[in-house]
Chains A and B, each alone.
Chain A
Amino acid sequence: MSIFTEEQNGTRHLLMGNEAIVRGAIEAGLDVAAGYPGTPSSEIIETLAKYAEKNNHYVEWSVNEKVALEVAAAGSFSGLRSLAVMKQPGLNVASDFLLHLSASGTRGPMVLLCADDPGALSSINEGETRFYARLMEIPLIEPGNFQEAKDMMKWAFELSEEIRNIVLVRTVTRLSHASGNVTLGERKESVGKAFFKNDGFILDPMEGSVMSAPVAYKHGEQQVKLKRCAEIFEKSPFNVYEGPVNPELLIITSSICDLYSKEAVSLLNAEKRVGILKLGTTFPLPPKLIEQYLAKADKILIVEEVLPFLEESIKVLAAELAPTIGAKQFFGKANGDIPMVNELNPDIVVTALSSILGIEYKEVDEEYKKRASEICFFGSPARETTFCPGCPHRASFFSINKNISMDNRSGFTCGDIGCYSMGMLPGGFSTLKTLHAMGSGTGLASGFGKMTKFGMEQPVVSVCGDSTFFHSAMPPLVNAIHNNSNLTMIVLDNSGTAMTGFQPHPGLEVDATGSEAPKIDIPSVCKGMGVNVEVCDPFDLAKTQETLFKFLESDGVNVLVLKQICALSPEKKGKKMFNMSIDDSVCLGGECGCNKMCTRVLSCPGLIWDRETEKSTINDVICIGCGVCASVCPSGAIKKEEA
């Protein structure tokens, strides 16, 4: 019995935001879904894929977000209901197609779901989806709780059908990964039958060719659709006001910040003084609705995360409306009450509110806070994220770092996006010296490798994961080869997209639904491009280091594929490769000339340095028996035995 395959209309469940989103799409009668993994969006395609066969949906993990949007658009052009799913940086990747798609318009209802990560809880940026709505001139809607995550997702398809353009739905980590109660609704039938009409009159939106030209004409049509949205939004049930008829202060907010705002008002017992206008339709804003509520209060506080998207739009409206509603005093990002970086929480909103309303607020007794902080200083040593015990990346970085140091020409490694980004941190021996977008490590390395012309003699290395290889590292590799650059590209192939939860990719024999699929072999692809390729097991430190040493010495482009499965992969989880033990009579402990290669240098969480005996020990609870520490110990005190 699953809510993702059955009707269950009217039943109530505790759902994760992403599960609510999935149910919403299913209730809307989805046919086609495509995406590329990215926290916090990945569970959406994962769940849809799990039930794809039963629901007769087509669901895929695409090679990257641009292709995902294109695949979903093909569904729409064929008259089906389609969905593309990605995290915000993926929208940057897909944006070129989106610009043209939004001008060409859609046929079957099409929704683009983007998940933002304010506060970068699982990212290295806090990029914004909302501004794309303005840039691409497409409607943007934002659920503010779990019920709305389902309901608005369903509505997004209806809206797209009505205006015949793509609808952007934005969620955030604190909604997608949180859970709350949702009552299910009715399930619509899928369209189920695909046909691409293309021989009608060229300007016919439903039967002609689909394209963004003639530009002025299509652009004008697109803007008419947007005006229509603003009218629809005036009556949307997802724009909700709660509070007194004439509040002293009006909060305007959207997304998860609505729940933070409510909590803050309640913490200050300010329900009689403050009203909250929660907007579900944030672009284009419905002007009459905004006017109606702006007119109610003289002081307005805008509560939103990261950049002042709502704040700026509302101020423009308020300026236009000033002759009728009078001058307003605004609080928010511009006056510094609400920060422009990082995620929000109830405490930040309380601080802003208490200063505007002049109500004192103390989260906890000062004495308590002081003592708890002192205790925490000694009682809670910092806990840095690091590679799992038995992670192949730890072994890979151990070797890369050692080779580069031994080479002694100030060589460096350009990083990329995945679990191996932690190669930036001490747990990865601080090996990575640059870290940007997916595929950028090899792009940068391609450029660095040409700086020889200006006297740069440092060896250049780039790393890239297997999923990243297909997503966006092939073009920079081609670039490096064609332009005669000098670099060693290391593909850290752990047989999956690990960081985001081990989704499959084109290098594997399975697709999103678990069915067999043709696999594209990374070494063969590189060989086809004409470069020298070698494959090693990163757990074989000696062979890896020998090969890397050779590559660092040679000119041109070389690719080293370090192949070993992720420790958290379903194949490996719970299974030990080796039983590890430490021979106390051999471990020299504190006296060892190596100065603790095992714990101080390798620093695998599976090892413990026993302060009393001054010897290394294995933490059996978490060690998965990769055996790497045995190769690191110079005394040979760490023993491995086939498990």
Chain B
Amino acid sequence: MPELKYDPYNLIITGVGGQGNVMSSRIIGNMMSLKGFFVTIGETFGASQRGGSVMSHVRISTKETVSPQIPKGKAHMIVSLEPSETIRVLMDYGNPAVQVITNTRPTHPIGVISGQAEYPSDQNIEEWINEISSKAWFFDATEMAVKIGHPIFSNIIMAGALAATNELPLDREIFETIMNTKFNPDKAKSNLEAYDQGVASIV
């Protein structure tokens, strides 16, 4: 088993209910588990599925199963499917060393739709995230996903992007094996395309 940059490595995957958070955390978790690591994933579903904020804590260790909740301020990497959610997670789990990969496509909360709240501008979001992280990547994963065929693929695009950062030993072959056992060939192909586009988004 390769050594980890931090042990446990604390990854948070966040977004809005319905964006495929859980799927993304399970795939990344399985990729690490198949390599022999201990993986603990904590997540909230249920009520939060209905358009609320969702968050998965994925913790990877060479030694043991750990708490499914990451302690406050201790995230190493935040992968986010929605930009304002990135900021929400940074407030609780961020620290000066944290890194961020974020989809730039907003999903407006109903408070914003109904006019009671303001959604921040793209420019502000980018400046703020850069200010409170050590390194951040931004791209419109939703746009890429729609081109592949469905907005849901953004969750796999983010997994590919994470792999390309080389923060965790994620292997494309293992991803491919998981896809081929989980999905029909068509769906597996789209998922691989999404993964590769995610990889290409990290420069």
Contact = CB atoms under 8 A, between A and B. Distances in A.
A383 B53 contact: yes
Q: What is the interface residue range for chain A against chain B?
A: 35 or more
Interface string A276-308: 000000000000000000000000000000000
A380 B95 CA distance: 17
Contacts of B38: 180-181
Contact of A180 (B39, B70, B73, B125): B39
A380 B132 contact: no
Pick from A145, A181, A379 the residue with the most CB of B within 10 Å: A379
Contact of A259 (B18, B39, B65, B151): B65
Contact of B39 (A179, A346, A388, A600): A179
B131 A181 contact: no
A384 B47 CA distance: 10
B71 A380 contact: no
Contacts of A121: 44, 46-48
Interface string A364-393: 110011011101101111111111100000
Interface string B61-90: 000011111111110000000001101101
Interface in A577-632: 596, 599-601, 603-605, 607-609, 619, 621-622
A604 B113 CA distance: 8
Contact of B51 (A175, A181, A371, A388): A388
Given A177-B45, A375-B131, A378-B120, A386 B107 contact: no
Given A14-B30, A383-B52, A621 B111 contact: no
Interface in B145-185: 146, 150-151
B200 interface: no
A175 B96 CA distance: 30
Nearest to B106: A608
Contacts of B73: 363-364, 369
Interface residues of B, number: 64
Interface in A137-179: 145-147, 173-175, 177-179
Given A40-B46, A383-B51, A383-B52, A364 B69 contact: no
A382 B117 contact: yes
Nearest to A146: B65
A380 B41 contact: no
B130 to A, nearest CB: 11
Contacts of A353: none
Nearest to B46: A122
A566 to B, nearest CB: 11
Contacts of B105: 621
A371 B132 contact: yes
A345 B65 contact: no
Interface of chain A, helix or strand or loop or mixed?
mixed
Interface in A326-375: 345-347, 350, 363-365, 368-369, 371-373, 375
Interface string B106-149: 01111111110111100011001001100000000010001000
A601 B91 CA distance: 31
Contacts of A181: 33, 38-39, 65
A603 B114 CA distance: 6
Nearest to A596: B115
A605 B46 contact: no
Contact of B110 (A259, A346, A419, A603): A603
A422 interface: yes
A600 to B, nearest CB: 5
A378 B125 CA distance: 10
12 contacts: A39-B45, A180-B40, A181-B65, A375-B91, A381-B109, A383-B16, A385-B17, A385-B48, A499-B46, A596-B114, A603-B113, A621-B151
Interface of A: 12-14, 39-40, 121-122, 145-147, 173-175, 177-181, 256, 259-260, 262-263, 267, 345-347, 350, 363-365, 368-369, 371-373, 375-376, 378-388, 419, 422, 426-427, 499, 574, 596, 599-601, 603-605, 607-609, 619, 621-622
Given A364-B73, A388-B51, 18 more contacts: A12-B33, A14-B26, A122-B46, A146-B65, A180-B40, A181-B33, A256-B67, A263-B66, A345-B67, A346-B67, A363-B71, A372-B90, A380-B88, A384-B109, A499-B47, A605-B110, A621-B146, A621-B151
